[in-house]
Amino acid sequence: MNVGNQTSSGSELRAHWPLVLTSSMGMALAASMPTMLGVMIVSIEHEFGWSRALISSGSLIVSVLGLLLSTAAGYAIDRIGARRIGIAVAVTMSSALMLLSTTTSNIWHWWIVWGLYGLAATATGTVWLTPISARFDKSRGLAIALTLAGTGISGTLLPIIANFVLELHGWRAAYFVVGGLFATIMVPLTLFVWHGAEERPNAATSAVSDPAAILPGMSAREGFHSPNFYFIVASMMISSIGWVALSVNTIPILISLHVSAAQAAAIAGTHGLAGIAGRFVGGWALDRVNAKWLVFGAILGGLALPLTYIAAPGNIPLIFAVVIYGSIMSGVKYSGIVYLISRHFGPKSFGTLFGTVSIAPAIAVGVGPMLASYVYDVTRSYSLAIWATLPAMVVAAALILLLSRYPDFGQGPEKGDELS
C-alpha cells in the first residue's frame, strides 16, 4: 500500500472512530447471550432440572426469528437508518440480559426472554456493519475488524466475569450484572456518540429521502440473483453451525474431558482474545490480499480444534493452544465474509443482503448448541458432535472457492481482484 493510501486510511479512521467504537460495542452486546449460555448451563440445569437441550432451546428461538425477520430488518436499516434501529437494539438486548435473572421454573418464562433478545438479534450485526460498509473504503478491512473485535471482547471477558459473579452470588446475579454493564455502555454510545449523519456516505445523501438510492452497488434483487450470494450464505451456514456448536459448549466439553470448571472457563475466555487477534489479522490482510483465499484458509484452519479433541482429549496444553488458534481462524473467517459481501454487492443494499446472510449465523447460534446438547443428552458425550464438524468445514471451504471476481461498481480496482 502506498503512502497516499495509508494517509487516506488513517483519515477515515480518525474521522469515523465514534462509529467504529459504537459498532464494536454493539457486536459485543450481540454476542453476550450465546457466550454466557456456556457458563450458565450447568447451574441452570441443577436449579431447574431442565435438560441441556431444553436450556439451549432458548437460542433456537433466536434462530427461528432470524430466519423469519433478518431480511426485513436489513431492509428497514437500508431505509430508516442504522442509528435509530441501533438504539432500539441496544436497549432491548441489555434489558433481555437483565430479565434472564428473573427466570422462574416455567420454561415459557425462559423462552419469552430469549424471544425478546431474538427480535433485537434479527438486526445484528447488520445494524452495526451497514454504516461501516458505507463510510469506509481504503481501510474497510481494518474497520470491519475493529467492529467485529467486539465479539472477541465478549468472548474474552464475559466467561470470566460471569463465572466470577456466579460463584459469589449465583447465575441470576451474573445475568443482571452483565446486562446492566452493557446498558450503561451502549445506551449513551448510541444516543450521544454515534451521530446519524455518519450513516451516510457523503453529504449529498442527506438531500434524498432514500439514502440507499445513490449508493454504488447491486440492488437487493440483483444480489439475490447472484450465485455468489448463495455460495457465501451456504458456506457461512455450514461453517458457523459447526464452530458455534463447539465454541459455545467449550466449557461443558472441557468438563467432560475432566477439566475443572475454573480452568475450563479460563480456556473458554481465550476464544475472545484470540478472536480479537484474528479480526485484526484478517482486517490487516483484507486490505492487501484476496479475501476469497483468506476465508478458504481460515475455514480449513478451524479443523484443528475438533481434530485435537478427537486425537488428544487429555492434552490440556495442546487444547489450550488449539482453542486460541481456532478462534483466530474464526475471527479471520468472519471478517473475510463481511468483506466479501461488501465487495461483491456494494453498500447500496448492504443492509438487506447482509441481513439475509445473517440468517446463517442466527440459525447457527440456535441450532449448533442445541444439536450438540442433544447429542450429549442422548449419548452422555460430545464425541459425535465433534466428529460431525469435520466434513462440514471442508464443504464450507470448498464453497468459497466457487466465488467469482469482484464486480466493478466504478470505484476503481479492488486489492486482490487480480488474484480471483
Most confident of 132-141, 254-263, 351-360, 400-409: 400-409
d(CA 158, CA 180): 13
pLDDT at 2 over 50: no
73: nearest Cα among 355, 353, 346: 355
Q: What is the pLDDT of residues 196-251, one digit of tens each?
A: 544 444 444 444 444 455 567 788 788 888 999 999 999 988 888 888 888 878 88
What does the pLDDT read at residue 139?
Answer: 73
What does the pLDDT read at residue 399?
Answer: 95
The DSSP output letter for 102 is G
What does the pLDDT read at residue 232?
Answer: 93
- What are the grid coordinates assigned to 64, written together? 427461528
Lowest-pLDDT range of 127-131, 166-170, 256-260, 338-342: 256-260
What does the pLDDT read at residue 414?
Answer: 43
Lowest-pLDDT range of 16-20, 71-75, 137-141, 288-292: 137-141
d(CA 173, CA 36): 12
User: What string of DSSP letters covers 190-225?
Assistant: IIIIS-GGGGSSSGGGGGSS-GGGGSSS--HHHHHT
Q: What is the mean pLDDT of the chain?
A: 80
What does the pLDDT read at residue 246?
Answer: 83
**Could you tell me the sign of the dihedral formed by the alpha carbons of 330, 334, 339, 341, in that order?**
positive
Q: What percent of the chain has pLDDT over 90?
A: 16
d(CA 312, CA 306): 10
Q: At residue 353, what are phi and psi to the nearest 5 degrees?
A: -70, -45
Lowest-pLDDT range of 173-177, 326-330, 357-361, 390-394: 357-361
Alpha-carbon torsion angle 359, 360, 362, 365, nearest 10? 170
Q: What is the pLDDT of residues 31-68, one digit of tens each?
A: 888 888 878 888 888 888 888 878 888 877 887 887 78
404: nearest Cα among 416, 388, 419, 420: 420
Domains present along the chain, CATH in parentheses: 12-419 (1.20.1250.20)
